[in-house]
Amino acid sequence: MVATFDALRDGYGHVRLDDGSRLSITTARHLAREATLLHILLDKAGVPLSVGRRRRLFRSAIRRALTLRDRGCAFPGCDRPPAWCHAHHIFPWQHGGVTSLDNGVLLCGHHHRLIHNSPWQVVLAADGHPDFLPPPWIDPDRKPLRNHTHDAMLN
């Protein structure tokens, strides 16, 4: 069964089932207590942007969105193309991180291992692009660094 939540102007809503019928929010919550739920966030065009906790791997639409945003390995100075990159969960999936554009970054194999095995840290900046915080022995202030290598490809 597929259900969608439609918010109404007055702040109330309903759940629409895949057969078109509607349930109240209260009834849907009651049924959800005993169901296995999969949260999928869609953009306005219906393209999946987040597939919640059920799927660990970044697939199709989210992978394409990461490719458009990062244009290759996002680690500062790296020129590896998207096809050579892994999609990395910024907040680890095994610790509750979701598979979404806002929790993903493209990294080549070398930088993916570096992020997992060192104090380097990935954060999303206010503009939605990944920044990298170096370890304190590289920069005691941990000033965010960004990859501008792929910018030249746009010109």
Evaluate whether residue 7 is within a structural domain.
yes
Residue 78: the pLDDT is: 97
Which tokens belong to 12? Answer: 């109330």
pLDDT band for 8, please (50, 70, 90 cuts). Answer: very low
Q: Are residues 25 and 89 in the same domain?
A: no
Residue 50 located in a structural domain: no
pLDDT higher than threshold 70 for residue 155: no
Any domain includes 33? yes
Residue 44 within any structural domain of the chain:
no
Instruction: Check whether residue 62 and residue 136 sit in a common domain.
Output: yes
pLDDT in tens, 87-136: 999 988 778 888 888 899 999 999 999 999 999 999 999 999 999 999 99
Question: Residue 141 is part of which domain span?
Answer: 56-154
Q: Average per-residue pLDDT in the chain?
A: 79
The total of structural domains in the chain comes to 2
pLDDT band at residue 27 using 50, 70 and 90 as cut-offs: confident
**32 and 78 assigned to the same domain:** no
User: Do 146 and 109 fall within a single domain?
Assistant: yes
Confidence band of 24 (pLDDT split at 50, 70, 90): confident
- Residues 8 and 74 placed together within one structural domain of the fold: no
Phi, psi of 151 (to 5 degrees): -60, -35
* 19 within a domain of the structure (yes/no): yes
For 43, phi and psi rounded to 5 degrees? -80, -175
pLDDT band at 1 (very low <50, low <70, confident <90, very high): very low
